[in-house]
Structure 1
Amino acid sequence: MKASAFVLLLISGLPAAAIAQPNTAQGELLRRGELTGSRPSAKAQMQAASRPANHASDPAQQHLLQTDINLAQARAEELPNLYERFMATTRDERRTWTAPQWDAAGEVLARLNQRYEQVRTDLPLDDRLRVRSLQGEFHTLRGARNVKEKLE
């Protein structure tokens, strides 16, 4: 009797859980380098709307991802590897980056996040966790750089 009540309680919560999930339109609104799933600001919405969709020829993106790929067409299973490449380059070069280079990296991450938001439900949970971890690592490294600059 208690098990059936528990199952009924779980089932009744499904519609609310579906509503709580962010929709793919939010992927269009991600701020530069923002973690996927957070609420974008009005300024970020305007910036995302004005950003061109095809970035396959962007030199910064080519360098950071170590490939020339149109992220708008990247398959879900390619994204974890693209995030890994992005972070490998970031880890290797971050100590010499200037503010504009950090900004360019943030924009590339925003494009990765935009595509991730569109296809994330096609990825297994462990890949989604890995992507979130890499997103967080970038923000940690960037934040540490900002603190270091303020201390100097």
Structure 2
Amino acid sequence: MRFPSILAANSLLALSLLLTACDSTPRERQAAVRKEVKELDTLARTGTRKLARLGKGAAQYRAAARARRAAPLDPQQERKMEKALLGTADRIPGLTPGTIAEAYAQLVRETRTRRPTWTERDWDYARNVYQRLNAQLKTIRLDLPARDELRIRTRQAEFVALQAGHTAKEINANARQLPQ
């Protein structure tokens, strides 16, 4: 929904009323107001329809994600995804304060590279690797230098942003598939 468009239309309405108020009759001003109100009403109705479709698309996406996440992840596929994202399998429990920042950097690099071809299930496995990295970070956080923690926070934010971008695209795709 475009709020600036509605605000711009309101501003134009006020400006046109001010400019025409001196040179027009009440009936002409009334017609101008009706026209502007009709345009605003159309914008509001269109925005409402778009918002409703996005809401339905989001609900469908959430339902599908809930059903998909109810199925357990395959341990072999988990190790395969960890190896693909971090370079080696079963690496996470061995990460130390000196190596965890690079693991997050590797995760984000690989996610950026691979995300265009990932399915929803691939994202589930990537999210699992990310959550396991976060769990390891909790165990070693007190020994982590502040500069590394800042780098890790940046990488965490980027991973979440990449994931949110994917989710937004999927919701939009679901909304587009809904009947008008």
Q: In the aligned structure 1, how far is the partner of 2:154 from the partner of 2:141?
A: 14
* Partner amino acid, structure 1, of 2:99: E
Verify: 1:66 aligned to 2:83, yes or no: no
* Matched residue, 1:116: 137
Higher helix share: 2
Cα distance, 1:136 vs structure 2: 1.0
The 3 A distance-change label for structure 1 pair 76 and 69 is: farther
Cα distance, 1:73 vs structure 2: 2.5
* Matched residue, 2:155: 134
* Partner amino acid, structure 1, of 2:148: D
Q: In the aligned structure 2, how far is the partner of 1:70 from the partner of 1:79?
A: 10
* Matched residue, 2:126: 105
Give the TM-score normalised by the residue count of structure 1: 0.60
Q: In the aligned structure 2, how far is the partner of 1:69 from the partner of 1:83?
A: 15
Cα distance, 1:74 vs structure 2: 1.7
Cα distance, 1:70 vs structure 2: 3.3
Q: In the aligned structure 1, how far is the partner of 2:167 from the partner of 2:89?
A: 29
Give the TM-score normalised by the residue count of structure 2: 0.51
> Would you identify which runs of 4 or more consecutive aligned residues in structure 1 move more than 3 Å?
none
Find 2:116's aligned residue among 95, 98, 114. Answer: 95
**Residues 72-116 of structure 1: CA distance to partner in whole angstroms, max 9, x if unpaired?**
222111100111111110010111111000010000001100000
Q: How is 1:18-97 mapped onto 2 (pairs within 5 angstroms)?
A: 58-97=79-118
* Partner amino acid, structure 2, of 1:94: R
CA RMSD of aligned residues (A): 2.1
Q: In the aligned structure 2, how far is the partner of 1:111 from the partner of 1:120?
A: 14
What is the percentage of aligned positions where both structures have the same residue?
32
Q: In the aligned structure 1, how far is the partner of 2:164 from the partner of 2:140?
A: 28
Cα distance, 1:63 vs structure 2: 0.8
Does structure 1 retain, via aligned residues, the 8 Å contact 2:101–2:151?
Answer: yes
Verify: 1:145 aligned to 2:166, yes or no: yes
Tell me the matched-pair count. Answer: 99
